[in-house]
């Protein structure tokens, strides 16, 4: 193989020389939109029958990720591999393998738009469950089709005593809410009183650690936790052994490239620069953060999925998810991006006729679940109740996941207005005044504690 200069080179070198990197907006605007119009053979052979809705930026409420037949098969193959790997978890008794598996996700009643269907990835995959798995699958096809989340939970809670469940699969916030409703409906002390054979919880989507303490209060005894990494773009990794990190799925319809997550490759907004230096998995270093580029059997090519990962064991290809390329706030799956925040503040400032100079937001615990706490810098007078309502509504319109979680695990938002000088003095105190320094849009745990301490010492105004 020769590159454009006629030099001997590897296939990968030729590939990355000739195929540009893509973010969602670029690949959708240049290629994927054609598949949504019914065109065949655009980025992968044949038509695209399904599109998974994934959290989007300010450009649109949701991303539309193509799901081909090849991708559905790839996800099924990886799912079977994961089931087979359960034999590595010696704490799981063999009798559990014949028990039911509650898979709580989006509705399998997909929206038909022209020649394709769209919906949550979990709903798409659940609608394609193999016939041999139907006996084990709960809550069953009828309940899974329900598009009303509260009605679905009511149905599950009603039927829960009839199921002999050994496994539960889903995003932590959803699963916790489901268990709480079952316990409340049947006046139980814990979930094991209705599902005595429950032994395994397979989780993914968000970090489980913030949930674990509250989650274990719902159990009658310890269970086994297994982490997975199933993105809309493909089944990336899963935990194969106890007390280990997830392992990349390396031979099933996904090709990985890695970009060092640093200022050389990403700008201050978390956007990938043109022609970044990329590496294959055997070339990356352990314990350094990389953004993932995926090429897939669904027609993604050198596509930046937005997650950052860290290789923890090169020999075993084990990894952890470390964050997002852009600042995100995702305590329970709301996937609130800085783009969403900026757009919402812009709209609210216009509607309330105020000038907002700075703002930041933090995620905080609230009644065993979560809340967002907003700090908005303005020198104008404003009705806090009106500001809070408008901000919440704007975010719901901009981000589908946020809208869903506001009726589930994201129980409340708080808004506090502050004079602009409060933000500026904080930056000055931190030695970050002037230049290109910016106030962080998302406050993490240590920053949040310092910020709260600063406000209590220097200034405080009403919060709603």
With 0-12 CB in 10 A as exposed, 13-18 as middle and 19+ as buried, what is 56? Answer: buried
Rounded Cα distance between 280 and 255, Å, is: 9
- The mean pLDDT values, 10 residues at a time, for the chain of 464 residues are 56 92 96 94 96 61 88 94 94 92 87 89 84 87 86 94 96 84 96 98 78 84 96 95 96 96 79 91 94 97 92 95 74 79 88 87 92 93 96 94 92 94 83 56 86 89 53
Ranges of each domain in the chain = 1-326, 329-458
Residues 6+ apart with CB under 8 A from 280: 12, 256, 257, 258
The answer, as to whether pTM is greater than 0.85, is: no
Return the pLDDT at 411. 93
Return the pLDDT at 442. 86
Return the pLDDT at 436. 35
Return the pLDDT at 2. 47
Is the four-CA dihedral 387, 389, 390, 394 of positive or negative sign?
positive
Closest CA to 201 of 248, 168, 228: 168
Domain 329-458 class, CATH top level: alpha beta
| DSSP-derived secondary structure letter, 22 | B
Rounded Cα distance between 263 and 270, Å, is: 9
**Cross-strand partners of 461:** none
The answer to whether 195 and 157 have CB atoms below 8 angstroms apart is no
Return the pLDDT at 434. 40
* Angle separating helix axes 338-352 and 384-398, nearest 10 degrees: 140
E strand or H helix that includes residue 113? strand 111-113
Return the pLDDT at 57. 38
Closest CA to 219 of 244, 243, 200: 200
For the segment 67-77, what is each residue's pLDDT rounded down to a tens digit? 999 999 999 99
How do strand 165-169 and strand 100-103 relate by DSSP bridges?
parallel
The answer to whether 284 and 258 have CB atoms below 8 angstroms apart is yes
Is the four-CA dihedral 400, 401, 407, 410 of positive or negative sign?
negative
Rounded Cα distance between 294 and 301, Å, is: 6
The answer to whether 170 and 203 have CB atoms below 8 angstroms apart is yes
For the segment 44-91, what is each residue's pLDDT rounded down to a tens digit? 999 999 999 875 433 345 789 999 999 999 999 999 999 999 999 999
Domain 1-326 class, CATH top level: alpha beta
Q: What is the full DSSP assignment across 302-313? A: SEEEEEEEEEEE
The answer to whether 234 and 71 have CB atoms below 8 angstroms apart is yes
Rounded Cα distance between 121 and 1, Å, is: 38
Cβ atoms within 10 Å of 272's Cβ, excluding its own:
20
Return the pLDDT at 7. 52
The answer to whether 8 and 2 have CB atoms below 8 angstroms apart is yes
SS3 state at 214? helix
Rounded Cα distance between 177 and 157, Å, is: 11
């Amino acid at each position: 193989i020769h590159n454009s200069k006629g030099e001997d080179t590897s296939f990968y070198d030729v590939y990355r020389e000739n195929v540009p990197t893509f973010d969602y907006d670029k690949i959708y605007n240049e290629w994927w939109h054609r598949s949504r119009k019914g065109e065949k053979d655009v980025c992968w052979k044949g038509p695209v029958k399904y599109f998974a809705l994934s959290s989007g930026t300010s450009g649109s409420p949701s991303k539309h990720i193509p799901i081909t037949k090849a991708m559905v098969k790839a996800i099924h193959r990886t799912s079977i591999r994961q089931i087979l790997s359960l034999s590595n978890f010696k704490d799981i008794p063999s009798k559990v393998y014949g028990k039911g598996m509650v898979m709580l996700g989006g509705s399998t009643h997909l929206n038909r738009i022209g020649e394709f269907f769209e919906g949550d990835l979990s709903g798409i995959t659940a609608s394609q469950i193999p016939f041999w798995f139907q006996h084990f699958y709960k809550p069953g096809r009828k309940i899974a089709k329900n598009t009303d989340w509260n009605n679905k939970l009511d149905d599950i809670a009603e039927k829960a005593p009839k199921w002999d469940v050994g496994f539960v699969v889903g995003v932590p916030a959803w699963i916790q809410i489901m268990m709480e409703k079952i316990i409340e409906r049947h006046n139980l002390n814990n979930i094991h009183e209705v599902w005595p054979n429950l032994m395994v919880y397979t989780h993914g989507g968000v970090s489980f650690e913030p949930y674990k303490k509250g989650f274990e209060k719902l159990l009658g005894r310890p269970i086994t936790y297994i982490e997975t990494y199933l993105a809309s773009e493909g089944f990336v990794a899963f935990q194969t052994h106890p007390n280990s990190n997830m392992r990349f799925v390396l031979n099933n319809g996904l090709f990985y490239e890695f970009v060092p997550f640093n200022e050389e490759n990403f700008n201050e907004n978390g956007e990938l620069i043109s022609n970044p230096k990329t590496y294959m998995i055997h070339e990356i270093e352990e314990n350094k953060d990389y953004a993932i580029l995926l090429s897939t059997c669904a027609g993604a090519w050198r596509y930046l999925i937005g997650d950052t990962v860290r290789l923890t064991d090169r020999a075993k290809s084990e990894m952890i998810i470390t964050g997002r390329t852009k600042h995100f706030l995702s305590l329970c799956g709301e996937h609130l991006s800085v783009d969403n925040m900026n757009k919402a503040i812009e709209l609210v400032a216009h509607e309330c006729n105020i000038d907002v100079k700075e703002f930041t937001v933090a995620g905080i615990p609230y009644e065993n679940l979560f809340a967002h706490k907003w700090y908005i810098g303005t020198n104008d007078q404003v009705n806090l109740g009106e500001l809070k309502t408008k901000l919440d509504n704007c975010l719901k319109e901009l981000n589908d996941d946020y809208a869903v979680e506001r009726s589930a695990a994201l129980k409340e938002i708080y808004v506090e207005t502050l004079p602009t000088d409060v933000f500026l003095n904080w930056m000055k105190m931190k030695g970050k005044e002037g230049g290109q320094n910016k106030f962080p849009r998302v406050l993490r745990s240590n920053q949040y504690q310092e910020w709260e301490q600063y406000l209590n010492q220097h200034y405080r105004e009403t919060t709603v």
